[in-house]
Structure 1
Amino acid sequence: MSEGYETEASDLQRVVEWTRREMLMPCLDGSNLVHVSRAIASVCGVPDLLFKPLECSRDRERTQEISEVIGDPKHLVLLLLDGLGVNAMELHLPPDSFLRRHVKREIRSVFPATTAAAVTSVLSGRYPSDHGLLGWTIHEKDDLLVHPLPFAVAPQYEPAKDHGVDGKDFYASLRPGSIGLIPRRKQVISAYANSDFTMALCSSLEQVPAHSFEECLSKLEGSWRNEGNHPSFAYVYYNEPDRQEHKYGHEDEIVKKTIISINDELEDFWKRNEDIEDKKIIITADHGHLVVSAENKLIIDQEEDSDLLDCLKHKPTVEPRSPCFHVKTGCREIFAERFRKSRFSSRFALISAEAAEDIELFGPKPLSSRARQSLGDFVALTTDRVALFQDHPDAFVGFHGGMTPSEMRIPLIVLD
């Protein structure tokens, strides 16, 4: 039994203290991905009135600051490098490297600091509290669990449509916004072009499949050279270094080689296209990474923790670094009491959905119906390098999805 964290008030106090010392909240701590998205849309001619008027304090000011950094180039590109957090970039690239020389500022991801939430915010210009895709695993109707990016059910990874989940219905809340509204010739260059997720937010963009970084840059170069004098926008997504960071951890030599390769390919690409005028590439990431050791992968065990499992509708959702719990009817109080007396409470602070909404954990309130459904009844937060699973842990070494600086700090790089 853990002593000292047996009420919501005590857990909330922990979270407040964390935000003062070691936890970064997007609505409080400087510019974030929502500001980047809205700034890009703004400089490309999307009226501010088209954004849903849910804002954190200083959102407009921070969006304007990013707009001034971007300017108004004829050819504008947003390149998102999955997992290229400030920590990995500074660890593996020297200060005089191509990417680090062009860093304009450090910004924040959204919370949860994970691809589903962050990329949706980038493409829509909306916070997770609004768009509602909070993480890798989402609670859907009839207690079905869905992975929204591959659009597959958990844990089998079978197509969601085979389980009666219609893609148009599932992504209905992801109406095109921000990037999808840009009034220019525009493209998405990505291995996930034409996917259900991409089409939900970027149906107005030309879909250009590209699977390697070399292919992404080649397709972009071809687009530039065929554009002539017409203003253009391209959103380019590449899934590294995230894939290697999950497998080996962001500190590993393999990750270092991957990041150096990305840096060098971009430098060569930029030099090769010096003759193309009035172009700018905005480079950022969706999140950073941290390493979770095997002993810090905590398991909700069928036998040892049966009192907790008896209260749950299904496995925890969203992310192992910030697990969300959907509790059976009538079990909220008993689940909270049991969790706060469990061995997990020394590592995680448990707060209710209502408290999370009140402190604007996921972005400005109120939570949308999709966000509320995804969140469930409780979310557990931590500043430790731990992750929480049911039954068995992921084989990953690297993780993200929390609010620590390692996960939240991302670069804003501008090539011009």
Structure 2
Amino acid sequence: MSGLDSRIWDSSYVLPDYNGGSIVNLMASIARGQNACGGRYESLNLLGPEQVAQHRQVSLIVVDGLGYDFLLEHRQIAPTLASHTLGSMTSVFPSTTAAAIGTFLTGVAPVEHGLTGWYVYMRELAAVLAVLPGFGRSGAAHYHGRIDVGELLGTTPFVARLDGDTHMVAPRSIANAPFNRAHLHKSDLHVYDTLQEMFQLTAAAIAGPEQRYTYTYWPDLDHTGHMQGMGSGATLALLADLEREFVRFLDAIQGTDTLVLLTADHGHINSNAERTFLLNDYPEIQQHLRLPLCGEPRAAYAYVNAGAEDAFLDSIACSFGDALTVRPSQTILAEGWLGPGDPHPSLESRVGDFVLIPEDDRMVRDWLPVERSFPLQSAHGGLSNAEMLVPLVVAESG
């Protein structure tokens, strides 16, 4: 394969379409539509900057885990959301919260912001961290008062480009987390406890005659999907709640000249413990690793001991056969999976030596002795349609 000329790499993989079809292109359209720099990225094919510019206000609502396929499959539960869906966009690679929220909050692809998955090897701290909450997986480091998280990550907030008022609406659980505050910049922060309050605060942030940009984030659908599965009654009940509150929100903001854009960071694929390769059960593989797995269960970065590369690949092939695809990390960078642009200074150290991509609905995981294992009923990070495609829901208030 050469470059990313086509969204489809083969019959089962969906690659990010950074040439006008991904969430980073949405951010470019928003920036240009608000008279700001769109950077190196093309505007989104589905929604050009001229459409954004027709409105004084832009409200971007990110529903964690709301896949395009999932929404259309359950359109009877969410008819308004489905009827306002303009089409699908791809997420970034990996199709996960850290990488995609990193794109929403910076306006650039993972190659530039350097957030390569939930677990990231931070060479600067000699530790593996869950990069959003900032707790350590391997090594003693974590975010604390002595660390300037913005300086550590080396990212520039998207809202720094915008001249108008900016607002962030975030759940109490993460609103004042160091990662969130590092990307707040000049935005007013609005903290909510319930979905109803989230939409009420978003509507209140929109009120006013000035040009405004509001970013709103809701994590509950993703969390429940992980724990109970995307087809569970609890997850579908949350989708129904989202539909109800979205309709109320649209009624509340009539007359504000707002362009409402609701989308997601990624979708989900259902899985379970029986479909998981647990590397703790394969000491012949683990002996070749110098760090625990990083990234995601659906796209894991393997850090291999120097000189053990061939033995590692042989062990993977003998244990998993065609059920696990292995790609050299340098290859996916060269092929543009993480996007075009100037690589983040720490990018190569954050993608390991190889990327492990389980086939079908499988996952690959490991556990450290100090960790409490927990099962997942759905996952993301990989290259399936269910994980990679997210909806673009568009509504306009007069």
User: Is TM more than 0.5 here?
Assistant: yes
Candidates 339, 346, 350, aligned match of 2:316: 339
CA deviation vs aligned residue, 1:63-111 (integer Å, no higher than 9, x gap): 6843244343112100001111112212222298111111111111111
Residue of structure 1 in register with 2:26 after alignment: 36
Say whether the 8 Å CA contact 2:167–2:188 is kept in structure 1: yes
Say whether the 8 Å CA contact 1:180–1:201 is kept in structure 2: no
1:307 is displaced (CA, Å) by 2.6
Aligned CA distance change for structure 1 residues 237 and 391 (closer, same or farther; 3 Å): closer
Pair 1:403 & 2:383 matched: yes
Candidates 253, 259, 263, aligned match of 1:284: 263
Say whether the 8 Å CA contact 1:27–1:364 is kept in structure 2: no
CA deviation vs aligned residue, 1:109-138 (integer Å, no higher than 9, x gap): 111010000011112121112211111100
Candidates 280, 288, 297, aligned match of 2:276: 297
1:33 is displaced (CA, Å) by 0.5
Which has the larger displacement, 258-267 or 137-146?
137-146
CA deviation vs aligned residue, 1:311-330 (integer Å, no higher than 9, x gap): 11121100011110112233
Pair 1:330 & 2:310 matched: no
Pair 1:150 & 2:162 matched: no
Residue of structure 1 in register with 2:327 after alignment: 351
TM-score (norm 1): 0.85
Residue of structure 1 in register with 2:195 after alignment: 213
CA deviation vs aligned residue, 1:340-396 (integer Å, no higher than 9, x gap): 3x3223211111121111211221266433221110111012341000112486411
RMSD (Å) for aligned C-alpha atoms: 2.7
Residue of structure 2 in register with 1:175 after alignment: 156
Whichever residue aligns with residue 273 of structure 1, its letter is I
Aligned CA distance change for structure 1 residues 31 and 60 (closer, same or farther; 3 Å): same
> How many matched pairs?
386
- Quick one: distance in 1 between partners of 2:145 and 2:307? 28
Pair 1:376 & 2:352 matched: yes
Pair 1:103 & 2:85 matched: yes
- Quick one: distance in 1 between partners of 2:249 and 2:217? 16
1:163 is displaced (CA, Å) by 11
TM-score (norm 2): 0.89
Aligned CA distance change for structure 1 residues 369 and 63 (closer, same or farther; 3 Å): farther
- Quick one: distance in 1 between partners of 2:146 and 2:57? 42
Whichever residue aligns with residue 294 of structure 1, its letter is A
Whichever residue aligns with residue 314 of structure 1, its letter is L
Q: How does 1:217-296 map to 2 (within 5 A)?
A: 217-225=199-207, 227=208, 229-274=209-254, 276-296=255-275
Aligned CA distance change for structure 1 residues 100 and 69 (closer, same or farther; 3 Å): farther
1:61 is displaced (CA, Å) by 5.3
- Residue 193 of structure 2 aligns to a residue in which SS? coil
Aligned CA distance change for structure 1 residues 288 and 110 (closer, same or farther; 3 Å): same
Which has the larger displacement, 264-273 or 404-413?
264-273
Whichever residue aligns with residue 135 of structure 1, its letter is G
Pair 1:315 & 2:292 matched: yes
Residue of structure 2 in register with 1:188 after alignment: 168
Aligned CA distance change for structure 1 residues 87 and 68 (closer, same or farther; 3 Å): same
Pair 1:202 & 2:192 matched: no
- Quick one: distance in 1 between partners of 2:78 and 2:338? 36
Which has the larger displacement, 307-316 or 360-369?
360-369
Which runs of 5 or more residues in structure 1 are unaligned?
A: 1-8, 54-58
- Quick one: distance in 1 between partners of 2:170 and 2:14? 29
- Quick one: distance in 2 between partners of 1:187 and 1:279? 14
- Percent identity (aligned): 20
- Quick one: distance in 2 between partners of 1:78 and 1:327? 40
CA deviation vs aligned residue, 1:33-78 (integer Å, no higher than 9, x gap): 0001111111111124xx3x4xxxxx52536843244343112100
Where in structure 1 do 4 or more consecutive aligned residues deviate above 4 Å? 162-166
Say whether the 8 Å CA contact 2:8–2:15 is kept in structure 1: no
Aligned CA distance change for structure 1 residues 380 and 365 (closer, same or farther; 3 Å): farther
Say whether the 8 Å CA contact 1:38–1:63 is kept in structure 2: no
Aligned CA distance change for structure 1 residues 17 and 306 (closer, same or farther; 3 Å): farther
Say whether the 8 Å CA contact 1:92–1:260 is kept in structure 2: no
- Residue 80 of structure 1 aligns to a residue in which SS? strand
Which has the larger displacement, 16-25 or 204-213?
16-25
- Quick one: distance in 1 between partners of 2:79 and 2:230? 18
Which runs of 5 or more residues in structure 2 are unaligned?
A: none
CA deviation vs aligned residue, 1:193-227 (integer Å, no higher than 9, x gap): 332212222312112212321111111222233x2
Say whether the 8 Å CA contact 1:353–1:375 is kept in structure 2: yes
